[in-house]
Amino acid sequence: MSERIMVLEGDGIGPEVVGCAIRALEALNDAYGLGLEFVKYDVGARSISQGEWTVEGVIEEARKFRAILKGPMGDPGIRNRQGTEGGLDLILALRFSLDLYANVRPVRLLPGVSSPLRNFSRPDSIDYTLIRENSEGLYASHFGGMELRDEVAVDNQIITRKGVERVSRMAFEIARRGRGSPWDGRKRVLCVEKSNVLRSFAFFRRVFDEVSADYGDVEAGHMYADAMAQYMVLHPDRLNVVVTENMFGDILSDLGAATVGGLGVAYSANLNERMGMFEPVHGSAPDIAGKGIANPVAMLLSASMMLDFLSKRDAAVALESAVIRAMSSGALTQDLGGHLGSEGFTDKVIENMG
Ligand code: NAD
Ligand code: IPM
Ligand code: MN
């Protein structure tokens, strides 16, 4: 049976890395008879600001699909009246309106990449999954914050029982299914918050604890977000699955990316039970857009997560393995100290598909 995939090309390096992913996916489509059909949309901050698309129009379209492959979006020059970035309304609307409540962001040291952390050189010596609550938290205020007479601005954090329950459950399920920590092989979920200071986080922690009672086979733990920032640098090998609030997850995922080679290799899935949106953690990188040098690894591994979500397990593994084999053989883009461009690297990945 054929499956239509919504492809949002995004801004800046978006069309470049999305193009690489489609090329790799087309190769798999033939080899594995996947029956995937890619429906491309030139959608991003630019197209929204120029009135080619409305946010509502994109969301309505998105509801027709089970999987969305999303390029990075955003243009720091395009601002809303209140000063926030215009193009981001769409990203947040996709996550919130489609209720993609879990933003799953693996942090994994891939072969050929040298971590800036001196004790970590072996591939997979850093290998954990950060799960960012994606439907509430401080970000819920994006659509409802307020500013008063150019004197006061307020954003509220929203934490609900339903929100914490479902993302915690997802974290425990992922821990159950996935690999244990590189440190001791144990499966554990760490809940990261600031329950020492804010009641909304104390609530987050309480609900997480309630859910953990259903998962006796997975260790449950807590860490405050500030301590977590240090732990991710000193002991990333001891981590397995981490679950946290939306804003903390945003910040910590970029920190995690930095420990494994940077944003060029940071991939993700925005999930609920019905559908998924797969995108790199990085943005549109205006500083390197149009140069053909963006690292497509984040986009390619996001595409692999999409294949997995669509139960195309063999093809998902084939894509991931091809990226890993290419990198093991020294194929790297400039951000990782190599010399290949986006297309040259993708050629190597396709060659390695076996
Ligand atoms: P960014 O991630 O675009 O870039 C940060 C740095 O990382 C830049 O130096 C960039 O060159 C580098 N980088 C990022 N991706 C890379 C890749 N694939 N290969 C090599 N180098 C890469 O972050 P920013 O500059 O803060 O934001 C730029 C725009 O992207 C903004 O409009 C921002 O709001 C938006 N943004 C969008 C998303 C998304 O679509 N999910 C995520 C983050 C930022
Ligand atoms: C990310 C980005 C987004 C976020 C922005 C661009 C809306 O930084 O995907 O991490 O803050 O979630
Ligand atoms: Mn971010």
- What DSSP assignment string belongs to 177-230? HS---TTT---EEEEEE-TTT-HHHHHHHHHHHHHHTT-TTSEEEEEEHHHHHH
According to CATH, the superfamily of the domain at 1-101+267-354 is: Isopropylmalate Dehydrogenase (3.40.718.10)
**Residue 87, pLDDT score:** 79
Q: Which of 11, 41, 75, 194 is catalytic?
A: 194
- Phi, psi values for residue 221, rounded to 5°: -145, 175
Count of alpha carbons within 13 angstroms of residue 36, beta-carbon side: 28
Per the CB < 8 A criterion, the answer to whether 45 and 318 are in contact is no
Whole-number Å distance between alpha carbons of 314 and 128: 22
Edge to edge, what strands does the sheet with 67-70 contain? 36-41, 3-8, 67-70, 276-280, 267-271, 102-108, 127-133, 241-244, 188-193, 219-224
**Residues of each domain in the chain carrying CATH 3.40.718.10:** 1-101+267-354, 115-260
Between vectors from CA 156 to CA 165 and to CA 148, what angle results, nearest 5°? 165
Give the CATH architecture of domain 115-260.
3-Layer(aba) Sandwich (3.40)
H/E segment holding residue 276: strand 276-280
What is the distance in A from the centroid of ligand 2 to the CA of 351?
33
Longest dimension (CA), the chain: 63
**Residue 144, pLDDT score:** 82
Per the CB < 8 A criterion, the answer to whether 225 and 255 are in contact is no
Ligand 1 site residues (CB inside 6 A) read 13, 72-76, 85, 88, 91, 263-264, 279, 282-288, 294-295, 298, 335
**Residue 80, pLDDT score:** 84
Give mean pLDDT in consecutive 10-residue pieces for the chain, a chain of 354 residues: 94 98 97 97 95 96 98 94 85 96 98 96 97 97 83 94 98 97 97 98 98 98 98 98 98 98 98 98 98 98 98 98 98 98 98 92
Residue from 263, 277, 335, 336 to probe ligand 1 pocket by mutation (most atoms less than 8 Å from CB): 263
Would you call 99 a catalytic residue per the annotation?
Answer: no
**Residue 150, pLDDT score:** 80
- Which of 180, 172, 174 minimizes the C-alpha distance to 215? 172
Residue from 284, 288, 327, 345 to probe ligand 1 pocket by mutation (most atoms less than 8 Å from CB): 284
Q: Left if phi > 0, otherwise alpha if psi is -120 to 50, otherwise beta: which for 13?
A: alpha
Neighbours of 351 (CB within 10 A): 14
Q: Which of 41, 139, 215, 267 is catalytic?
A: 139
**Owner of token pair 């159950």:** 176
Whole-number Å distance between alpha carbons of 178 and 186: 11
ipTM of the complex: 0.99
Per the CB < 8 A criterion, the answer to whether 245 and 137 are in contact is yes
In sequence order, which ranges of the chain are alpha helices (DSSP H)? 14-32, 45-49, 55-62, 88-97, 161-177, 199-212, 225-234, 246-259, 297-309, 313-328, 342-351
What is the distance in A from the centroid of ligand 1 to the CA of 195?
31
CA-based end-to-end distance of the chain: 24
**Residue 4, pLDDT score:** 98
